Structure 1
């Protein structure tokens, strides 16, 4: 998977929001160490997490499975714009058969499906991919054919989320109990954050 941070809110917006409550603007340093300390104290230590909602992040996420997307969609306080299967399945229709199982076909299939550590599951995904391709070749409409898409089928999306909701996402999905793919996604999203923002989230990452 690939993660790109498209945009993010400057820290001084969050510190300004916090200082609005006490009208203490003169104590700010435009997102510097004083403001970071204030954000950590009020937003994290004092649990006034609503102040963190002034910070927003937009990511471009590529190469995750539809299974991972379904888990991601459970995080309600976020906006998702997802690659349309209606308009993009034609890329699969133009491919040759993915069978039999061989190294070249596996490499071609990686463009379309996420492989796991289980060979039997991977083979089932390959058969499902080939079945989907055959449906498309017979000119069945994409709207119907997409019902045969395997959960391993790759997709991509633009994802926007505020810092408070992102804390919740990282806390839940960085756990070893989470689906392995969304755990990888959570850790990579944290790594993609600007270094000066990571203090907001580092404490919520799970070691479990």
Structure 2
């Protein structure tokens, strides 16, 4: 946990899902200069006289060091060859605010937990609170979801209370709120469990989920809500990302994320994109 501006925040978690190695990047660079025979990696030397077979490709992808890549990265600043190495990260527990910042990095593949499909639990808790519970039931239920990057219960109660108020306003102005909130097959459960909020919530959770439920309710959540995502960068783009986002000028939450991503990035990549401190 970190205290920032008087509010406690949780840090994101990051796992490196896959990395393609630096051998292909050296192969690309050697192709540019027709210099395979100068490599310290025997398998790269052999490319000059042999088209790589499966065994050679496996060996290329297991290369841990390349003098040429180091020279190109730090002496000649020929960074285009770094685009041939890719890394994919699974990220959990960053915020929607960070997602907005992340999207500004153009060259990445990004897949994010969708609010269109994953808001059923929030809506089910609200429906249950209106048929046997109260606002406190809703707040307590959402607190158990651990859905915010803020870790201060008092602050999160304010956040959840605002979600409740927005949903309650919408309920009053929509002619048939239940039709947009729960699946058609679950509507009879509301009458069946009338007066028992916990049982109704459990029944709605176990029932069919309303398709695209987030279409009607995206407005209720803030940038404070946690998101999960998988991002894939080529090494040149990752260099740019770390340079900008590990800076003290960066938004503190994306700086935390960059630091966690850097922590799980193997040194064979970091040595090519992070300037060593003298």
Closer/same/farther in 2, CA of residues 56 and 155 from structure 1, 3 Å limit? same
User: Which residue of structure 2 aligns with residue 186 of structure 1?
Assistant: 258
Partner of 2:117, secondary structure, is helix
Match among 55, 75, 83 for residue 45 of structure 1? 75
Q: Distance in 2 between matches of 1:89 and 1:3?
A: 23
Contact 1:75 1:169 in 2 (8 A): yes
TM-score by length of 1: 0.82
Contact 1:128–1:150 (Cα < 8 Å) also in 2: no
Name whichever of 168-177 and 190-199 sits farther off. Answer: 190-199
Note if contact 1:132-1:149 (Cα within 8 Å) is conserved in structure 2: no
Larger Rg: 2
Structure 2 length normalisation: TM-score?
Answer: 0.63
Partner of residue 72 from structure 1, selected from 102, 105, 108: 102
The gaps in structure 1 that reach 5 residues or longer are none
Matched, 1:19 2:30: yes
The 3-state SS of whatever aligns with 1:58 is strand
RMSD between superposed Cα atoms in Å: 3.0
Structure 2 CA distance for partners of 1:85 and 1:153, relative to 1, 3 Å = same
- Alignment counterpart, residue 148 of structure 1, candidates 208, 220, 234: 220
Q: Which moved more, 1:62-71 or 1:18-27?
A: 18-27
**Cα pair distance change 1:177/1:106, threshold 3 Å:** farther
- Counterpart check, 1:128 vs 2:139: no
- Residue 64 of structure 1, CA deviation: 1.1
- Does the CA contact (< 8 Å) of 2:236 and 2:273 recur in 1? no
CA distance in 2, matches of 1:153, 1:12: 39
The residue aligned with 1:55 is 85
Gap runs ≥5 in structure 2: 1-11, 42-59, 172-176, 182-212
After superposition, the C-alpha distances for 1:49-95 in whole angstroms (9 at most, x for unaligned) are 11111111111111111111000000001111111111111132344
Distance between the aligned counterparts of 1:26 and 1:168, measured in 2? 31
Q: Indicate the SS of the match to 2:144.
A: helix
Q: For residue 203 of structure 1, give the secondary structure of its aligned residue in structure 2.
A: coil
Q: How does 1:75-94 map to 2 (within 5 A)?
A: 75-94=105-124
Pick one of 162, 168, 180 that aligns with 2:234: 162
Asked whether the equivalents of residues 245 and 254 of structure 2 are also in contact (C-alpha less than 8 Å), the reply is yes
